[in-house]
Amino acid sequence: MYQTSIHTFTIGGIQVSIEKVTNIDELFDCLLAKGDHHADVIDERIPYWAELWPSALALSDYITTLDLNWNGLEVHEIGAGLGLPSIVTGKLGGRVTISDYLPEAIAFAKSNWNRNIATPPNFKILDWRNPYNIAPADVLLAADVAYEQRMFKYLPNAFRNLCKKGGLILLSEPNRAYAQSFLTNISSEGLQLQRRIQISQTLFGQEYLINILELRNL
Q: What are 136-158's pLDDT values in tens digits? A: 999 999 999 999 999 999 999 99
Q: Would 69 be classed as within a structural domain?
A: yes
Q: Would 45 be classed as within a structural domain?
A: no
Q: Are strands 163-173 and 206-217 parallel, antiparallel or unpaired?
A: antiparallel
Q: Would 179 be classed as within a structural domain?
A: yes
Number of alpha helices (DSSP H) and beta strands (DSSP E) in the chain: 7, 9
* Euclidean distance between the first and the last CA atom of the chain, given in angstroms as a whole number: 45
pLDDT tens digits, residue range 167-197? 999 999 999 999 999 999 998 889 999 999 9
Q: Would 3 be classed as within a structural domain?
A: no
Q: Would 57 be classed as within a structural domain?
A: yes
Give me the domain span that covers residue 136.
Answer: 52-217
| Residues in CB range of 193: below 8 A, 6 or more apart | 186, 187, 213, 214, 215
pTM for the complete prediction?
Answer: 0.95
Per-residue pLDDT of the chain (218 residues; tens, 9 = 90+): 788 999 999 999 999 999 999 987 776 567 567 878 777 656 677 778 889 999 999 999 999 999 999 999 999 999 999 999 999 999 999 999 999 999 999 999 999 999 999 999 999 999 989 998 899 999 999 999 999 999 999 999 999 999 999 999 999 999 999 999 999 999 888 999 999 999 999 999 999 999 999 999 99
CA atoms within 13 A on the CB side of 210: 28
Q: How many domains does the chain have?
A: 1
| Residues in CB range of 122: below 8 A, 6 or more apart | 96, 97, 98
Q: Which helix (H) or strand (E) holds 169?
A: strand 163-173
Q: Which CATH number characterizes residue 153's domain?
A: 3.40.50.150
- Rounded Cα distance between 114 and 158, Å, is 27
Cβ–Cβ contacts within 10 Å for residue 27, how many? 17
- DSSP notation for 115-132: HH-SS--EEEE--TTS--
- What pLDDT is recorded for position 32? 67
Q: Would 5 be classed as within a structural domain?
A: no
- Rounded Cα distance between 66 and 59, Å, is 11
Q: Would 18 be classed as within a structural domain?
A: no
Q: Would 9 be classed as within a structural domain?
A: no
- What pLDDT is recorded for position 146? 93
